[in-house]
Amino acid sequence: MQALHSLDVIEAIEVENSTRRRKVYKSRSDPFSLNDEDFRKRYRFKKSTATYIIDLVRDDLNLDRRGSGTSPEIQVLTAIRCWGRREVQEDAGDHHGLSQATTSRICTRVARALARHSASFIKMPSTFAEEERMMGEFYRIRSFPTVIGCIDCTHIKIRKCGGDAAQYYINRKGFYSLNVQVTCDAHLRIRDIVARWRGSTHDSRIFNESSLKERFETGSFRGRLLGDSGYKLEPYLFTPILRPRNRSEEKYNEAHIATRNTVERCFGVWKQRFQCLLFGMTCKLQNVKTTIVALAVLHNIAVDHGDVQLESGVEYNREVSREVPRSNASANAALQTFIRRHFSE
Dump the DSSP string for 141-164: HHS--SEEEEEEEEEEE-PPP-ST
The identity of residue 76, as a single letter, is V
Give the residue from 41, 40, 112, 46 showing the smallest Cα distance to 75.
112
8 Å CB contact between 89 and 281 = no
pLDDT in tens, 21-46: 554 445 556 889 899 899 998 898 99
- Start-to-end CA span in the chain (Å): 108
The identity of residue 216, as a single letter, is F
* 18 plus 85 within the same structural domain: yes
In whole numbers, what is the pLDDT of the chain averaged over residues? Answer: 87
| Whether residue 339 has pLDDT greater than 50 | yes
* 78 plus 135 within the same structural domain: no
Domain-located, residue 282? yes
| Whether residue 3 has pLDDT greater than 60 | no
* 155 plus 97 within the same structural domain: no
Domain-located, residue 326? yes
* 162 plus 273 within the same structural domain: yes
Domain-located, residue 1? no
The sign of the CA dihedral 155, 104, 193, 138 is negative
* 321 plus 176 within the same structural domain: yes
DSSP string, 240-287: --SS--SHHHHHHHHHHHHHHHHHHHHHHHHHHH-HHHHH---S-HHH
What CA–CA distance (Å, rounded) separates 118 from 189? 13
Instruction: Give Cβ neighbours of residue 4 (< 8 Å, ≥ 6 apart).
Output: 12
* 163 plus 247 within the same structural domain: yes
What CA–CA distance (Å, rounded) separates 270 from 190? 10
| Whether residue 90 has pLDDT greater than 80 | no
Alpha helices (H) along 85-189: 89-94, 100-115, 118-121, 128-142
What CA–CA distance (Å, rounded) separates 156 from 177? 5
What percent of the chain has a predicted confidence (pLDDT) above 70? Answer: 82
Q: How confident is the model at residue 65 (pLDDT cuts 50, 70, 90)?
A: low
Domain-located, residue 260? yes
* 146 plus 272 within the same structural domain: yes
What percent of the chain has a predicted confidence (pLDDT) above 90? Answer: 68
What total number of domains does the chain contain? Answer: 2
Final residue belonging to a domain, choices 50, 83, 116 = 116
* 250 plus 152 within the same structural domain: yes
What is this structure's pTM?
0.86
Final residue belonging to a domain, choices 89, 116, 143 = 116
Final residue belonging to a domain, choices 95, 116, 137 = 116
Give the residue from 223, 219, 248 showing the smallest Cα distance to 151.
223
Instruction: Give Cβ neighbours of residue 331 (< 8 Å, ≥ 6 apart).
Output: 232, 233, 234, 235
pLDDT at site 120? 97
Instruction: Name the residue range of residue 244's domain.
Output: 122-342
pLDDT at site 328? 80
The identity of residue 11, as a single letter, is E
Work out the number of other CB atoms within 10 angstroms of the CB of residue 327.
17
* 231 plus 299 within the same structural domain: yes
Q: How confident is the model at residue 56 (pLDDT cuts 50, 70, 90)?
A: very high
Mean pLDDT for the stretch of residues 65-80: 81
* 185 plus 105 within the same structural domain: no
* 159 plus 287 within the same structural domain: yes
* 168 plus 79 within the same structural domain: no
pLDDT at site 165? 84
pLDDT in tens, 199-220: 999 999 999 999 999 999 999 9
